[in-house]
Amino acid sequence: MVPPVPESRRSNNLVIASAVFVVAPVTAPAQAETPLGYLRSFGAMAHAITPLTWGLLIISLVVCVIVIALVLGGIVLKRQAGHITAAIPLMRGGDGAGWVGLGVGISSVVLLGSMIWTVVVLAAINEPPSKPALTIEVTGQQWWWKVRYLSDDPSRILTTANEIHIPTGKPVRVELIGADVIHSFWVPLLSGKTDVIPGQTNVTWLEADRPGRYAGLCSEFCGVQHAHMGFEIVAQSPRDFEAWWNAQLKPAATTGSSVIARGATLFAYRCGACHTVRGTEAGGAVAPDLTHLMSRATIAAETLPNNVGNLSGWIANPQAIKPGTLMPTVYLSGPELNDIRSFLLTLK
């Protein structure tokens, strides 16, 4: 996970960052102190859940205060001097059943009310409020997210990774595919969790009111790098979203200096068995598609901000940054690393 992009780095430039180091083309909303704090909501599903969360939280706090007051009050008011138990005479005492009945009665009414509220909310978010604008297939795997934008037009089907762009104001259907072990898909500010289970396709939906970046993460333990399996929802106005999609569909531009050409060849040879860069010979399918790598804010599933330094370090020794990651350490000489990096930096 990466903290939200600070104000100074935000840019009003739309769709694609103009400079390599400037990421986050859209404004981040209210993720200030707590980017994953779900007591606030920014989308339709979360809007339905959050009042229930608050409601039950307040009931819970009130119950705690009452019981603590009852226990403490009883002890303070009724306590006997000294600590020799046998010295205090026994008593038959009152029956007390009425008090127990009263407490249980009130509790039951509160429980019943909460149960009904729960079912009402559950029914409300069972289906998205309107027909989904599009369907995104998200595949959870150790330890990153493959993202496919589905379309009836095969030429519009797009594969990317870890950064999920969606249009604002419309529900988006998310189909969750498990590639290896169980993961869980969670965007706290927009929706609850849905597990990603191999052998079954779970469906959820997302809707964001406003443009912004919303952090997401895997929330089911899935192996040694479960801690570094983040993703990000980037909500954009429908127009910006369309522009982004169109730009992403383009293959990588392969022209450039000899360094870049060398880098492209080297990349295809050393990295292309796992990674795809459309428009080049690199066509591997087991690792993230890097065709527009530099349009993304982070690398290694939200582990590091995407900049030259981090990119170099990651390529040189991924195991040092994310021990156990399935990306092997590929031994590269200094010049080789430089060539590959120069090539990657052109993938805007």
Query: Going by C-beta distance under 8 Å and a sequence separation of 6 or more, which residues neighbour residue 33?
Result: none
Closest CB to other proteins among residues 70, 157: 70
Helical residues (DSSP H) of 126-276, grouped into ranges: 238-249, 258-270
53, with CB counted inside 10 A (0-12, 13-18, 19+), is middle
- DSSP labels, 282-297: -B-SSS---TTGGGSS
Q: Residue 210 Cβ, how far from other proteins at the closest point, in Å?
A: 19
Contact predicate 172/166, CB 8 Å: yes
Closest CB to other proteins among residues 200, 246: 200
Q: Residue 275 Cβ, how far from other proteins at the closest point, in Å?
A: 22
Closest CB to other proteins among residues 139, 248: 139
Q: Residue 164 Cβ, how far from other proteins at the closest point, in Å?
A: 18
Closest CB to other proteins among residues 84, 333: 84
- Nearest-angstrom CA–CA distance, 287 and 275: 5
Q: Residue 142 Cβ, how far from other proteins at the closest point, in Å?
A: 8
Q: Which of 145, 116, 144 is nearest to 52 (CA)?
A: 116
Closest CB to other proteins among residues 36, 243: 36
Q: Residue 129 Cβ, how far from other proteins at the closest point, in Å?
A: 15
Q: Residue 145 Cβ, how far from other proteins at the closest point, in Å?
A: 15
Closest CB to other proteins among residues 87, 258: 87
145, with CB counted inside 10 A (0-12, 13-18, 19+), is buried
- Nearest-angstrom CA–CA distance, 330 and 304: 19
